[in-house]
Amino acid sequence: MKQVRFKRHNPRTHWVGDGFPVRSVFSYSDIASEISPFLLMDYASPTRFPPTDQRRGVGEHPHRGFETVTIVYEGEVEHRDSAGGGGTIGPDEVQWMTAASGLVHEEFHGRDYARKGGPFEMIQLWVNLPARLKMSSPSYQGITRDRIPSVQLGQEGGQVRVIAGEYEGNRGPALTRSPINLWDIRMTGPTRFTCRVPEGHTAALFVLNGSIRFPDGNRASEAELAVLDSSGNTMSFESDGPAKLLFLGGEPLNEPIIGYGPFVMNSPEEIQQAFIDYRSGKMGRFTS
Ligand code: MN
């Protein structure tokens, strides 16, 4: 049975551009080697935006060496990148953007949502790429809600939506570059959740709302991340009531993590090269 190894919570919010008020739950400069292949997690907790005709978000910026995975719970996110990827995702949808060798992109609130305004809630994860794939071609997966299998949890206990990997034989739609399990768990009332997870893999639970209790007595509640032992192949916890959780699981890459700003590579030389390539336009540029 997996136990809680440590917890993370960040009460401080900072703005990414003018569209995303996020709490950085972890980043590659702190616990990335303990939570590989995940590099960073930003949580935009529920915020209400007034209607606007302006574009809210963050304009052209580069990435190299990893993937950005955006999960929208409320609101809409629009993305466009220099590799030709793009799209708008809404509630319960996911954007899986593989920056790999590099691109520039922009991330804004969806136009329709911005015009109407309303609640906004989102998570962005950065997922590391194995060294051998860091310089592969960029790609983009827009994952609509109808493609995400929803598995019932007992009698009215809730659902597990499988974004990536597998839960009880149900496969998620995301194409991943290393073994990853990413599950959107919704509990509708007090429920015990027990499942098998791969031995030796990273395992962590982020609580968006509600409160859960582990067999070792540890609790996690709103905006807390519980990082579990990688040993053991059974995960179990109970919710006190309705709860919304994100499970992060994956095979650790066990490769050096050297990051600076929007680039995460395996050596300082590769970071230097990323800056040179970005400045010389090799990651592309928008003309408008
Ligand atoms: Mn970005």
pLDDT digits (tens, 9 = 90+) for 63-120: 999 999 999 999 999 999 999 999 999 999 999 999 999 999 999 999 999 999 999 9
Measured in Å, residue 59 CA sits from the centre of ligand 1 at 9
The model's pLDDT over 117-141, given as tens digits with 9 standing for 90+, comes to 999 999 999 999 999 999 999 999 9
The model's pLDDT over 186-210, given as tens digits with 9 standing for 90+, comes to 999 999 999 999 999 999 999 999 9
The model's pLDDT over 217-240, given as tens digits with 9 standing for 90+, comes to 999 999 999 999 999 999 999 999
At 156, is the pLDDT very low, low, confident or very high (cuts 50, 70, 90)?
A: confident
Burial of 137 (0-12, 13-18, 19+ CB in 10 A): exposed
The model's pLDDT over 268-283, given as tens digits with 9 standing for 90+, comes to 999 999 999 999 999 9
How many helices, marked H, and strands, marked E, lie in the chain? 2, 26
Measured in Å, residue 118 CA sits from the centre of ligand 1 at 23
Measured in Å, residue 135 CA sits from the centre of ligand 1 at 17
Question: HSE on the CB side for 180, CA within 13 Å?
Answer: 27
Give CA–CA dist 233/250, Å, rounded: 13
Measured in Å, residue 197 CA sits from the centre of ligand 1 at 30
Predicted local confidence at residue 288, as pLDDT? 59
Measured in Å, residue 107 CA sits from the centre of ligand 1 at 7
Measured in Å, residue 274 CA sits from the centre of ligand 1 at 15
Q: How far apart are the first and last CA of the chain?
A: 53
Q: What is the mean pLDDT of residues 11-39?
A: 95
Q: What is the mean pLDDT of residues 239-251?
A: 97
Give CA–CA dist 52/67, Å, rounded: 30
CA-nearest of 10, 29, 82 to 259 is: 29
Residue carrying the six token digits 């499970």: 247
Predicted local confidence at residue 272, as pLDDT? 98
Measured in Å, residue 120 CA sits from the centre of ligand 1 at 18
Q: Are 194 and 235 in contact (CB under 8 A)?
A: yes
Q: Are 44 and 21 in contact (CB under 8 A)?
A: yes
Measured in Å, residue 251 CA sits from the centre of ligand 1 at 24
Q: Which helix (H) or strand (E) holds 272?
A: helix 268-279
Measured in Å, residue 102 CA sits from the centre of ligand 1 at 11
Measured in Å, residue 194 CA sits from the centre of ligand 1 at 35
3-class state of residue 280 by DSSP: coil
Measured in Å, residue 42 CA sits from the centre of ligand 1 at 11
Q: Is the pLDDT of residue 157 over 90?
A: no
Q: Is the dihedral of CA 127, 129, 134, 139 positive or negative?
A: negative
Predicted local confidence at residue 209, as pLDDT? 96
Q: Is the pTM of this model over 0.85?
A: yes
